[in-house]
Structure 1
Amino acid sequence: MTYAGVVVMVGLSFGVLAATTLSPSRRGGDVVRVLGLTGTRGFHLAAWGIALTVLAAPIDDLWHRLFGLDVTLWSPPHLLGLLGAAINTLGCFRIAREVYPATSRAAFAAVVVTGALLYIGLHFALQPSFRIAYLNGGVFFHFYAMLASLMLPVALVATAHLSGVRWTPALVLVGAVALGLVGMQIARVGFDLLQPVSVIEPEIAKDPTSPIAVAYLVARKNGTPPGATASLTQLLGLLPIAAMIVVDPRRRPVAATVAYALVLFALMAVRLAFLPAFRPLVPGTGATLVALGLTLVAGVAGGWVAGRIAAALGPAPRSATS
């Protein structure tokens, strides 16, 4: 399904650029030319972003040949692929503003759906942070809150800015959870039909300290399905998002993200403390205060970056007041 999605995105992104290049009548006023291809900035961003994801595939194959089967999401080829997907999704934000009138319902829906997809990708990239928390404890017990405060606001702030509606980050989370649950069901049906032979167990046996082995161990201790990336408990994330909405990410992205980071830190501290795998690792006051400080710094940086990216993607709708 992942490969099919990449193929579709390559076809759409570069197909539109090719059509615009070959048919001058299709060109609007805001077009640029890159490597011989003409198109809008949104389609260029989407196309070259997905090109990075495609480029990551042969690099990943070479990586496997050199170092064997890796079972970590944070290998260089995987990170390159995730970066390309994120850039592609940011391009979709821009495309939504190029294709639809800024204040139309279609533009609003396109921006929210794009925000949800970007949130899913960024949240997926953060999953190894829980393994690091489990293995290291201390300050790293709160590693997810630190990284989430830095990265997730890109999706939340951009959606609020481009939609012009302050509460759209809540829709982003709800949409992301819904899409994640649907995706898991589709994957489950696919596995039931195809019944592929798993190589995970032999790999775990080879190295019980590997990332995938640790992830399976944590899942068993917590009583959750191994590999699950979406659940209804993610809706608790509406609490930090509510703090962001109160401050208003459209007008004060940095302050809103700091509020988000503060509530997220408290929420994740409580959630992890109640999980069997993490309960023995709850850090002391000193480590917690250091982690809180780092999370707030990440919130400042994340809010600033998110605000700059959102502004670069396009202006807020003029009629935005809610």
Structure 2
Amino acid sequence: MSIRVAVVAPTVAIAGDRALSIAGFVGLLIAMAIGGWGVQWDIRWHLLIGRDSFWIAPHVMTYAGVTLSATIAFGMLALERVRGRASQGWWLAAVGMALTIIAAPIDDLWHRLFGIDVTVWSPPHLLGLAGAHLNLLGAMLVAVELWPGSSRRRAIGVLVAGTLLLGTCYVTVDPGVQTAFRRGGVFFFTWPLLGALGFTFILSLTARASGLRLAPLVVTVAALGLHVVGLGISDAGFALTQPVPAIQEAIAADPTSPIAIAHEMARRSGTVVGRSFLLRWLPILPAAVLTLVDARRRWIAGGIAFGATLFVSAGHMLAGAPSLRHALPAPGDVVLAALLIPPAALAGSAAARWLARRWPSPITPPA
């Protein structure tokens, strides 16, 4: 009887630890989704309302997501240390949240020194986004650690983390379209160039970590769905809070700001500002090509194919946008972009291959 108790007790403890790890993983994904939707709502708030303060509803939603994510990441890392284990996934997730938290006081100092900025591409904002990227990479690695080998749970966990990661990358890369509007020339291709690097890395890594050939296509379609849900949440939030717009005053105060440019681009295109889907469905065709090539096994062909398809499809669609007709590139700019974008995608594919090979329990896809 004593021997049986001695055997059963550790087994129950291990099962309890594993259940707690899974709960932490699921909680982290939910928290990051909440934070991501808060950021999406915050961007629309700036575009539609203009007035900003620390306690506006989208900020509160974002802070709640970040606080919950940080609590889970640091708590699980501490628990892993107490258990005597070293989880690389939770360590990476915690480092990511540390960067995001550090970005907040830096952002406040930046505003005090340089005034209120309304761009995603300020140093504090980019630091916070870098932290979110690392956190979600850590979440993906946690799924790999929790479910070694090929399993349905591992695939689902990796796909969800990959979807959130791609959504975060979208937010980071989106301002590239305004760069095209302002500068034209070869800068017309800023968005596809940055996307070739970031999107290919995320989609290739997700395919390798999940073991699913369809992963790139699934993740891009899911990221589009994530965007639609975010629009619904922000619409409901506006209906509930009913903020008083001050957007015309904000545009008049700085006609060259990203907010003013967004409104001008929407006016020229005849669209509603903050509701465009173009940049969310554009990556789907390149992702389908990457799926066809099989990112798990053919990283060189996959990277080049994704980059070439993104160059052609994004170039064609952006060139047809009325808001960018004044910024169309010259033939030499097109040639230069054609020489830059596929190699950028290849670099993203190579980085995904390098990282996946250093993660535990790699999946070897069937020949």
Q: Tell me, yes or no, whether TM beats 0.5.
A: yes
The one-letter code matched in structure 2 to 1:4 is A
**Is there any run of 5+ residues in structure 2 with no aligned partner, and where?**
1-60
Partner of 1:302: 348
Q: 1:3 aligns with which of 63, 71, 76?
A: 63
- Helix, strand or coil at the partner of 1:313: coil
Q: 1:275 aligns with which of 307, 312, 321?
A: 321
Identical amino acids, percent of aligned pairs: 42
- Partners of 2:229 and 2:363 lie apart in 1 by 31
In structure 2, relative to structure 1, the CA distance for the partners of 1:236 and 1:126 (3 Å cut) is closer
Task: Output one character per residue of 1:143-165: Cα deviation in whole Å (capped at 9) or x when no partner.
Answer: 11111111111210111001112
- Helix, strand or coil at the partner of 1:148: helix
Task: Output one character per residue of 1:123-178: Cα deviation in whole Å (capped at 9) or x when no partner.
Answer: 11011100010111111111111111111112101110011122210000011011
**Is there any run of 5+ residues in structure 1 with no aligned partner, and where?**
33-39
Higher helix share: 2
- Partners of 2:244 and 2:104 lie apart in 1 by 22
Query: Is contact 1:165–1:321 with CA below 8 Å preserved after alignment?
Result: no
Partner of 2:3: none
The one-letter code matched in structure 2 to 1:310 is A
Q: 2:202 aligns with which of 155, 164, 169?
A: 155
In structure 2, relative to structure 1, the CA distance for the partners of 1:146 and 1:236 (3 Å cut) is closer
Query: Is contact 1:254–1:299 with CA below 8 Å preserved after alignment?
Result: no
The two structures, once aligned, show a CA RMSD in angstroms of 1.8
- Partners of 2:111 and 2:256 lie apart in 1 by 19
- How do residues 238-277 of structure 1 correspond to structure 2 at under 5 angstroms? 238-277=284-323
Task: Output one character per residue of 1:159-218: Cα deviation in whole Å (capped at 9) or x when no partner.
Answer: 100111222100000110111110110111011101234454322211101122112211
Partner of 1:210: 257
Partner of 2:118: 71
- How do residues 169-184 of structure 1 correspond to structure 2 at under 5 angstroms? 169-184=216-231
Deviation, 1:21, is 3.5
Structure of greater Rg: 2
Partner of 1:35: none
Q: Which moved more, 1:269-278 or 1:111-120?
A: 269-278
Deviation, 1:223, is 2.5
Aligned length: 307
Query: Is contact 2:129–2:172 with CA below 8 Å preserved after alignment?
Result: yes
In structure 2, relative to structure 1, the CA distance for the partners of 1:309 and 1:200 (3 Å cut) is farther
- Helix, strand or coil at the partner of 1:287: helix
Partner of 1:37: none
Q: 1:137 aligns with which of 176, 184, 202?
A: 184
Task: Output one character per residue of 1:208-252: Cα deviation in whole Å (capped at 9) or x when no partner.
Answer: 0112211221122223332336x3773342221122123221122
Say yes or no: does 1:285 pair with 2:331: yes
The one-letter code matched in structure 1 to 2:146 is V
Give TM-score, length-normalised by structure 1. 0.90
